[in-house]
Structure 1
Amino acid sequence: MSEIKDTYKTIDVPSEETLFKDRNSKFFGYAFPVFTEEEVKEAIEGLKKKHHSARHFCYAWQFGTDKIRFRANDDGEPSNSAGMPIYGQIQAFDVTNVLIVSVRYFGGTKLGVGGLINAYRTSAQYALEASEIKEKTIDVEYVLSFGYDMMNKVQRVVKERNLNIIAQKLEMDCQYTIAVRKKDAQTIFDIFDNLFKVDIKEVG
């Protein structure tokens, strides 16, 4: 049986600004944690305000752990000379939920497609090397519903299995939302599913 992959790498905070130079062209590199295209837009707009005289804002982003979405943008550079080399570094560092932007100031000398590929790849590499990359677990969330008479039994499983309760509602009856590592999810589901008078449902 193949091992379920239930970890991923990402960043929690934007990187420091990095700089790569080639024949007077400057490439400022940035990495941002992102989850939506709206956040991508905001990050790029922020950089456009900061670097209002720069020529190109080339970038790539990737979202997701199971279902991967990504985009690469050359922003006026020759096709596939900027966005894809940047995306290649996202893959090389094996990170997700991340946006890498390389802001170019043209230095007067054309670098050619090969030079551009190298410059954008290196700029993205610098931005990721300047980031604190963290490994996180892919979790499945379940909602448990049960009466007060089952509280001790539920608590015992939570304690024994070291489960993370991320929300709880204790009213007429009890409701816990728990996060479980993906590779343990089926086992935990079965344990609660077999507990008399405990209802378990996956969130989402």
Structure 2
Amino acid sequence: MGGGKSLAALVRHHHVGARGLNGMLIVMQPRESGVVASRLGVSAPADVIDDQTDLWDMISRAVAEDGVRHVVADEAHFFTPTQIEQLARVADDLDVVVEAFGLLTDFRTRLFPASARLVELADRLVALPTGPLCACGEFATLNARLIDGVMVTDGDQVMVGDVTGDRVRYEPVCRACHVAVHSSGVRDRGIELPG
């Protein structure tokens, strides 16, 4: 969505290492190369997990074997609710700092299941100050899925967007533009969708 989530996760992971702490950076598939990368060009290697990964087991082993004291989870909205519960257990039972970065809602404005569980269990929720702007100039709080340049509001919750193409992509939008496009099919605030 361009909101700076991955950049913030990378900055936090860097700060952990700069303080001499052993940290762990994790991300959900489909990160093919095992890297968390920001659109600004900053990247770092990460442990890639899938929806079957037992985070309690993985992180508790890393704590025992490698002295991990801090976990940064990127794309946390793609985790399972059970994995969010495992992260909470890591924080509570292993005294490891856990920070999760992700979206709250999908392109339909519905909470991701993992995000809902994260909201229920988190000690703190922090909105990033680097939030993106909608094309109309307002702060974007939602993301729109575009298929061939047309905004859609139905479909599978997860559909990975193209990185270089534009067949499927996501655009940050404010709530008013999302509602305007959803109800009319066209943006009425002086903004045109490409395509």
TM-score band by shorter chain is 0.3 to 0.5
- The higher-RCO structure (CA 8 Å, 6+ apart) is 1
TM-score, length basis structure 2 = 0.33
Decide which structure has greater strand share.
1
